[in-house]
Copies of this chain bind each other. A is one copy, B any other.
Amino acid sequence: MKLSARVEYGVRAMSVLALHDRSGPLSLREISRSEDISFQFLEQIFLDLRRAGLVSSVRGARGGYYLSHPPERINVGDIVRALEGPITPVNCLAHSDGKESRCHRSEACRTRHVWEKLRDRINEVLDSVSLDELIGPKPDRLVKQAGS
């Protein structure tokens, strides 16, 4: 029940982009340094993030990446799914071809329901956190909830 380093790095890197939103592209070299993540590994990760439409790139000198959408519209679930594919706690839940792939063992479906529930809850949690929230409470929000 672990997420990959790709996801952990991806989320951290994306949170950096969120912090610098609307201030031009940020190069992977910088993110790599500030977050202490292998530059070449980050490259692989960002290829997938771009293909998923979460970030956009500017090539060439002074290029880099920036968020394709405002931080409040990108959530952790998007990043996880972009980097690991759909969340399937057990193999029998993976339906690569779009069909409802029933396990060949009919009675195996005794347990199917739990795994579906688990999958849905995981997605809910991940989808409930936006980059916006990730980079910390905004000042006004802080005032509101931590009034005393």
In the bound complex, how far is the Cα of B18 from the Cα of A111, in angstroms?
13
A88 at the interface (CB under 8 A from B): yes
How big is the A interface, by class?
35 or more
**Beta-carbon contact of B111 and A134 below 8 Å:** yes
Given A1-B3, A3-B1, A36-B105, A114:B129 Cβ within 8 A: yes
Closest to A80 in B: B1
Which secondary structure characterizes the binding site on chain A?
helix
In the bound complex, how far is the Cα of B33 from the Cα of A105, in angstroms?
13
In the bound complex, how far is the Cα of B88 from the Cα of A12, in angstroms?
17
**Beta-carbon contact of A76 and B114 below 8 Å:** yes
In the bound complex, how far is the Cα of B105 from the Cα of A8, in angstroms?
13
A59 at the interface (CB under 8 A from B): no
Closest to A123 in B: B1
In the bound complex, how far is the Cα of B115 from the Cα of A43, in angstroms?
24
**Beta-carbon contact of A89 and B1 below 8 Å:** yes
Please name 23 pairs of A and B residues whose Cβ atoms are closer than 8 Å in the assembled complex, sorted by A: A1-B1, A1-B3, A2-B89, A2-B90, A2-B91, A3-B89, A3-B115, A8-B92, A11-B114, A15-B110, A35-B105, A76-B114, A111-B134, A114-B134, A117-B125, A117-B129, A118-B122, A118-B125, A118-B126, A121-B121, A121-B122, A121-B125, A122-B122
